[in-house]
Structure 1
């Protein structure tokens, strides 16, 4: 059974509020089903793309799991679902899960025996594969780099996945490239659980330094990324929230007009 989706108010998206143990259990269920499914995450960047790109929105709507990835998304969800939080004795940030919150726990996924790692440069990919072999002892883990992604490399990866037949695929090409690849190739890919993990491959490899988890619990991981990668992150921090606000305002105006007809 697919986990329940819940509304994130203000942002007008749905997500799957899970803690780490819930993600691990659901991954085991998806693997046991032997079908094709996706695991995605919602942060402000993905919410902006969700409201501005039909293909992106379709992928999210059909995903098996959409985690509360960004702190603002988790906080807004928590404000609307406080009754769910209190009996569990958990704060909202227990449900705010980036890829590096659950990847280290993959060794507890029932039946996980074959893992593919797609993305990052060759050195980082190799290191991530080696690390995952330690995390999931006895599993067959292999990878293909994603640096310089183009049509030729994409076709090679699709062919390789078809031969390798993994149960779980960590796809780390960055947003929105990884989601775009899933949109156009998912029907061609072998049955597996495809997880969009962004820069987590480099973090698993130890190439990219992971923000202290206490910063993430405070909702300040963006500041860490801004300091380390200002050119890559500045637009998302300072410009994209205004773009998202405009999209949400326009959405509400259109909805109001539709109701008034």
Structure 2
């Protein structure tokens, strides 16, 4: 599988679009002798990978690292041969590939962990309404109680053992720590992914930015306008801190 190195030793990414991501989940990953990790990299995640912690560890252990955000796409283009440049269609968020997976409606067992009890209920209802074959089990991110619209056992650990795909949306870095702590419970051939707040968008508890804004790199502005308190530091402060750290790293290397 093609990977792209990021400049300044910032790691690498896997330029896949939504279709290719679903193909991997339903194909090669299913034949693995261990659980596969589907990671993603946006600017906030990149910032967290510069310090020891669960985000850095999970990113390093990921089998696939999706390009989630324009800054990562631009970084990937900086160090890639022209013929191998990632394209805008390979900049995808969790909502993009999960929407495609739901549309395909494969006969797989999905365990979702995260969101408020309200979000878990609404997300499970959305899946039940729009699919026929997917077996969906949703546990909220507070009490880890199973949503009423889900099916299967109430005990989370028992449900994880039978999953083909595990989606964890608890926010960074909590979701990455949760995945690392529960990885041994996941069966070989299953995929586990950190998906942030994507459940909220399907459940309708958060608004998804218009897709045209994502195509031109302004999705962050839409999110900031709708959640300024929660996202101001991430979108306005962290990029400056990241740039400062990268400049200092470059200076040290030239000393």
The bucket for the TM-score relative to the shorter chain is 0.7 to 0.9
* 1:218 corresponding residue in structure 2: 216
* 1:169 corresponding residue in structure 2: 166
RMSD: 2.5
Partners in 2 of 1:113 and 1:186 — Cα distance? 19
Cα deviation 1:31-90 (Å, max 9, x = unaligned) = 3436312111111111111111254322211101100001111122134433225xxxxx
What displacement does 1:125 show?
0.7
* 1:155 corresponding residue in structure 2: none
**Mean Cα deviation higher: 56-65 or 200-209:** 56-65
What displacement does 1:132 show?
2.4
Any conservation in 2 of the 1:38–1:63 contact (CA below 8 Å)? yes
Partners in 2 of 1:214 and 1:111 — Cα distance? 28
Matched, 1:100 2:98: no
Partners in 1 of 2:83 and 2:17 — Cα distance? 16
* 1:187 corresponding residue in structure 2: 184
What displacement does 1:129 show?
1.6
Partners in 1 of 2:35 and 2:60 — Cα distance? 15
What displacement does 1:110 show?
9.0
* 1:23 corresponding residue in structure 2: 21
Question: Which consecutive unaligned segments of at least 5 residues does structure 1 have?
Answer: 86-90, 150-157
Question: Which consecutive unaligned segments of at least 5 residues does structure 2 have?
Answer: 145-153
Structure 1 residues 168 and 135, CA gap change in structure 2 (3 angstroms): farther
Any conservation in 1 of the 2:106–2:133 contact (CA below 8 Å)? no
**Mean Cα deviation higher: 173-182 or 49-58:** 49-58
Matched, 1:113 2:111: no
Partners in 2 of 1:54 and 1:251 — Cα distance? 19
What displacement does 1:10 show?
4.9
Q: TM-score, normalised by structure 1?
A: 0.83
- Select the structure that is richer in helix: 1
Partners in 2 of 1:144 and 1:179 — Cα distance? 16
Q: TM-score, normalised by structure 2?
A: 0.85
> Is the partner of 2:50 in helix, strand or coil?
helix
Structure 1 residues 110 and 37, CA gap change in structure 2 (3 angstroms): farther
> Is the partner of 2:136 in helix, strand or coil?
strand
1:37-48 → structure 2 map (5 Å cutoff): 37-48=36-47
* 1:83 corresponding residue in structure 2: 83
* 1:125 corresponding residue in structure 2: 120
Partners in 1 of 2:181 and 2:12 — Cα distance? 23
